[in-house]
A and B are shown apart, each in its own frame.
Chain A
Amino acid sequence: MTKGRIISAVIIALIVIGGAFGINEFLSYRDVSVVLKDPDAAVEIYTSNNQKITTVSADELIRLKVGDYYYKPVNEKFSTENIPFTVEDTTTIEINPFFSPSYLANLLIAQQNDIRATLVSSYPSIAASYIVGDDLLSHQGQWYSAKLVQRVSGGNQPDIYRIILKKDAEIWNVAVAPQLIISKSENPDVPVDVIRKVNEPLSNEAYALLYPE
């Protein structure tokens, strides 16, 4: 075999190997349709080893390699926690991040009257006999949880009740009636993080409301 033929064979082999790698690389990408459920929810998409791929600020079709990724909202209206997702095949990713604690706190102030009205109309004794503490909104503001503590005299310790409301079609409804503790299995429609949060002990701030100096 001449030197020229050897070089030709090596070049052909390299082209074939390169082509195979190219085809493999092309085939490892999948169409991912990114749908923003909230028009404000622009997100940055990262690989699982924290390399930023792109920013998506409107519904968009992108191509991603099969693998693990996460997205992170960029707007401060949303919680900045990383939300993981996996691409195995052509898929649609619905971006619907939770609101940030500060945004939810402002939302709560705006919703306070409606929530109070629901609490009092459902349980009239709340108006005069209970302090509502540790109240907060969760997710996209549709879940409300709070602790109800009976006003007591002297150093008596009252029981602490937990309640959860849900807003459907702009109306607040009782999702879980006041209970000493809320069980996940008995309330499968309520997100576990909302239950876990409301089951926590009464905060010092709420205690301060109960026993003002």
Chain B
Amino acid sequence: MNKKTTLIAAALVVFIAIPVIIWIISSTLQKGTVSVETLVVPSNATVTINDETYSNKNSINLKPGTYTVVTSRDGFETNTQDILVTEGQTNAIIASLLPVSEEAMRWQENNMKAYLELEGRAGSIAAQQGQEFIDTYPITKWLPLQKPTYTIGYRQVTENGKQGIVITINAVEGFREAALQELRDRDIDLGDYTIEFTDYRSPF
């Protein structure tokens, strides 16, 4: 093998094999994780999730579950929020830090566009998440429902890192069955849901 061939082989290893190996390792590490969009202003603020710190990241890969996210930067108010990361849904960390120091206030004045852009993107993500929620739980499209003798609503719950809903029925004795019939009439399989009755105590 002459010198030229050796150089070509080495170049192939550097430009093809190494990126492929990096891609395989990174894919393996990211297996089972979900991409979470990171929308933070100022963009170089520090995002801390379970003692892991990130900075200047457009997205972070996390396993499905609930996380406490702390976003901070010197001179700005620290933002703390709980997020639920769900597979197959739009996930995002949105933090618009308010200035506290004079320097930070000047930064904000000069970067109002970044705040407005984040607000716009946050709005479209909220709309997307709302639509995904309705697609997953079509029943929520027509709830809450108020009738003279009962009210049917719902509340969101998180169990084992998974999002769900509990149907709530507020009705006096004798009209609870009527509320259930309202759901049956809308082709709801009542066994598919956890149904809670407010102001109710079992006589058994």
Closest approach, in angstroms, between the C-beta of B198 and any C-beta of chain A? Answer: 12
Contact A180 B191 (CB under 8 A): no
Contact A185 B194 (CB under 8 A): yes
Taking residues whose C-beta sits less than 8 angstroms from the other chain, chain A's interface range is: 20 to 34
B interface secondary structure, majority: mixed
Is B107 in the interface zone, CB < 8 Å from A? no
Closest approach, in angstroms, between the C-beta of B66 and any C-beta of chain A? Answer: 19
B-to-A contact residues, CB < 8 Å: 173-178, 180-181, 184, 189-195, 197, 200, 202-204
Closest approach, in angstroms, between the C-beta of B197 and any C-beta of chain A? Answer: 6
Q: Which of A157, A158, A159, A195 contacts B191 (CB 8 A)?
A: A195
Is A161 in the interface zone, CB < 8 Å from B? yes
Contact A196 B189 (CB under 8 A): yes
Contact A201 B177 (CB under 8 A): yes
Nearest residue (CB) in A for B204 is: A178
Q: Which of B173, B191, B202, B204 has its CB near the most chain A CB atoms (within 10 A)?
A: B191
- A–B Cβ pairs within 8 angstroms, 17 of them: A125-B203, A159-B173, A159-B176, A160-B177, A161-B202, A161-B204, A180-B200, A181-B180, A181-B191, A181-B195, A183-B192, A183-B194, A183-B195, A186-B194, A196-B191, A201-B181, A201-B184
**Which residues on the A side are within 8 Å of B178 (C-beta)?**
157
Q: Which of A178, A180, A196 contacts B195 (CB 8 A)?
A: A180
**Which residues on the B side are within 8 Å of A158 (C-beta)?**
173-174
Apart from A159-B174, A180-B176, A199-B191, list 17 A-B contacts with CB within 8 A: A123-B204, A125-B204, A156-B174, A157-B178, A159-B177, A160-B177, A180-B177, A180-B180, A181-B190, A181-B191, A183-B192, A184-B191, A196-B191, A199-B189, A200-B184, A201-B184, A202-B177
Contact B202 A179 (CB under 8 A): yes
**Which residues on the B side are within 8 Å of A195 (C-beta)?**
191
A-to-B contact residues, CB < 8 Å: 123, 125, 150, 156-161, 177-186, 192, 195-196, 199-202
**Which residues on the B side are within 8 Å of A156 (C-beta)?**
174
Contact B194 A150 (CB under 8 A): no
Contact B191 A192 (CB under 8 A): yes
A157 vs B176: C-alpha distance when bound (angstroms): 10
**Which residues on the B side are within 8 Å of A196 (C-beta)?**
189, 191
**Which residues on the A side are within 8 Å of B204 (C-beta)?**
123, 125, 161, 177-178
Contact A150 B190 (CB under 8 A): no
Closest approach, in angstroms, between the C-beta of A124 and any C-beta of chain B? Answer: 10
Contact B184 A180 (CB under 8 A): no
Closest approach, in angstroms, between the C-beta of B1 and any C-beta of chain A? Answer: 49
**Which residues on the B side are within 8 Å of A200 (C-beta)?**
184
Q: Which of B174, B175, B184 has its CB near the most chain A CB atoms (within 10 A)?
A: B174
Q: Which of A156, A161, A181, A192 has its CB near the most chain B CB atoms (within 10 A)?
A: A181
Closest approach, in angstroms, between the C-beta of A117 and any C-beta of chain B? Answer: 17
A199 vs B174: C-alpha distance when bound (angstroms): 16
A200 vs B180: C-alpha distance when bound (angstroms): 10
A183 vs B195: C-alpha distance when bound (angstroms): 8
A22 vs B200: C-alpha distance when bound (angstroms): 71
